[in-house]
């Protein structure tokens, strides 16, 4: 069992102000794999004080020097990717091969993209094009609080820490207390890269304690949060009294519109994409709308794909699903699957209970429901597990209306060989992102949504400007 009770504050690993142990559970085995400290407001205050003291020096550090530190971070990150994959696999259950290729890989790609984007970024430009007598200046917003989730640890940590460093901000990171091991390793990488003390600080703790203190702290200029919509609302309310900037990347209930002329493997791709990371992705295509003429065939394909998905412990190599992250998450998913059964959806595959042959670990059976209707909970609520809902449609207009009938608006998907239709539908869908025919957004794009999915714009130039204020200057 790992002892990870210390916090990283002001360039050193320090003991918590008050000893409050918190166990980290390996979701594959349900056994304790590490012990961390559950921080208090005093720990958060100590970290904010260090970040505040370091801000002016880091703000005035030459941007190219800040870039050099990030390049060092990337080099060390790549050297230690095996360690990072093991940490992620242990703490949140990602299969080890998936952890190194997708989980760790996502973090590395984000750092690379921020480096490339920063090479083309200027902290000063014309305020109005063609007017040389005025200027627009970008300035770091100040000390920022960063609160990250457990489902894609390095994806979210790099999307926040790296642009904040490049922008000239100092920071306090509170990773998820459920999956903190990768964040602690990342702090060690920051330390190894020689980032000046106080610029980056890490305090473990829960949302009610450290999280609440950071979002309401008068010396924090911005809070950047990724997690549930419920928590995002609470953070916004707590941050209101200090009028800090609030960046929120929240939940999703992605619509996936599959037309009759979609490519041959569209349904199979859609099912596997929904189940990836054991369904624990806010941008998962969890509602599959299928044109009625191919609906019966699509149901058969989805059932076959789901029934052929393998589940195994995270340490096992190969292409399979691991467990979901925790007992609480497992029980929430079980309740939603049962609601789908009770409310009359057709269960094609999966269902409640542990998969056959598995008697421990938080493993959820890959589940597919057909004939789902908009009044059902599984249509409306974010499940965050390997659960797919299938709904038939008769017209393009009907599909768009049902897809937009949600509080969320993160990522939607369109599957059709008709390019003009894809353009029409993508334009009509209400979301921050739309992916067409399985093609991911290009390098340098942002990640973010609308409505109850939040309004953050993370990644590339967009992600750097999230941490900057603008200043308009005349007679330049």
Catalytically active residues are: 249, 282
The whole-angstrom separation of Cα 328 and Cα 428 is 36
Token pair recorded at residue 354: 């542990």
Q: DSSP strand E in 149-205: where?
A: 170-174, 200-202
Provide the Cα torsion 244, 216, 184, 68; round to 10°: 20
Q: Which residues pair with 200 in a beta bridge?
A: 171
List Cα–Cα distances, 69 to 168, 199, 281, 429, in angstroms: 12, 12, 30, 40
Provide the Cα torsion 392, 388, 264, 393; round to 10°: 10
Sheet holding 367-370, edge to edge: 346-349, 367-370, 387-393, 287-291, 255-258, 411-415, 433-436
Task: Count CB atoms within 10 A of the CB of residue 308.
Answer: 11
List Cα–Cα distances, 353 to 268, 339, 357, 362, in angstroms: 24, 14, 11, 10
CA angle, corner 274, sides to 420 and 318, nearest 5?
125
Instruction: For 417, list phi and psi in degrees, rounded to 5.
Output: -85, -5
Cβ contacts of residue 443 below 8 Å, gap of 6+?
Answer: 109, 113, 116, 460
Task: Count CB atoms within 10 A of the CB of residue 117.
Answer: 19
393 and 289 Cβ atoms separated by less than 8 Å: yes
DSSP state string for 441-456: PPTT--B--SGGG---
Q: Which residues pair with 34 in a beta bridge?
A: 2, 24
Place of tokens 């050099």: 68
């Amino acid at each position: 069992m790992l002892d990870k009770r210390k916090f990283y504050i002001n360039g050193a690993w320090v003991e918590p102000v008050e000893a409050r142990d918190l166990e980290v559970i390996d979701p594959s085995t349900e056994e304790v794999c590490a012990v961390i400290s559950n921080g208090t407001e005093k720990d958060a205050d100590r970290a904010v004080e260090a970040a505040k003291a370091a801000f002016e020096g880091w703000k005035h550090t030459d941007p190219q020097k800040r870039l050099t530190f990030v390049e060092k971070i990337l080099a060390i990150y790549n050297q230690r990717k095996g360690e990072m994959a093991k940490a992620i696999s242990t703490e949140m259950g990602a299969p080890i091969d998936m952890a190194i290729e997708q989980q760790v890989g996502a973090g590395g790609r984000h750092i690379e993209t921020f480096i490339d984007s920063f090479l083309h970024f200027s902290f000063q430009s014309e305020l109005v094009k063609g007017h040389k007598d005025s200027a627009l200046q970008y300035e770091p917003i100040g000390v920022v609080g960063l609160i990250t989730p457990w489902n894609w640890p390095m994806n979210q940590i790099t999307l926040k820490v790296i642009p904040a460093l490049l922008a000239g901000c100092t920071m306090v990171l509170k990773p998820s207390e459920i999956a903190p091991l990768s964040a602690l390793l990342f702090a060690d990488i920051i330390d190894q890269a020689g980032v000046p003390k106080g610029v980056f600080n890490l305090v473990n703790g829960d949302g009610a304690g450290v999280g609440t203190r950071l979002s309401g702290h008068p010396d924090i200029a911005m809070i950047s949060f990724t997690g549930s919509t419920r928590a995002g609302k609470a953070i916004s309310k707590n941050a209101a009294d200090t009028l800090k900037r609030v960046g929120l990347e929240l939940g999703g209930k992605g619509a996936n519109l599959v037309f009759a002329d979609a490519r041959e493997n569209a349904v199979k791709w859609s099912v596997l994409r929904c189940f990836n990371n054991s369904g624990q992705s806010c941008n998962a295509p969890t509602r599959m709308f299928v044109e009625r003429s191919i609906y019966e065939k699509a149901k058969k394909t989805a059932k076959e794909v789901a029934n052929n998905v393998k589940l195994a412990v995270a340490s096992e190599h190969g292409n399979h699903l691991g467990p979901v992250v925790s007992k609480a998450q497992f029980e929430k998913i079980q309740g939603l699957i049962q609601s789908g059964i009770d409310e009359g959806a057709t269960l094609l595959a999966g269902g409640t209970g542990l998969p056959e042959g598995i008697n421990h670990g938080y493993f959820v059976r890959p589940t597919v429901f057909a004939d789902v209707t908009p009044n059902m909970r599984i249509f409306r609520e974010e499940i965050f597990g390997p659960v797919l809902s299938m709904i038939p449609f008769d017209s393009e207009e009907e599909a768009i209306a049902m897809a937009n009938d949600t509080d969320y608006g993160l990522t939607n998907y369109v599957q059709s060989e008709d390019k003009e239709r894809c353009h029409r539908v993508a334009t009509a869908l209400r979301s921050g992102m739309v992916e067409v025919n399985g093609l991911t957004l290009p390098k340098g794009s942002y990640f973010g949504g609308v409505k109850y999915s939040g309004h953050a714009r993370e990644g590339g130039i967009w992600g750097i400007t999230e941490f900057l204020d603008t200043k308009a200057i005349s007679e330049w």
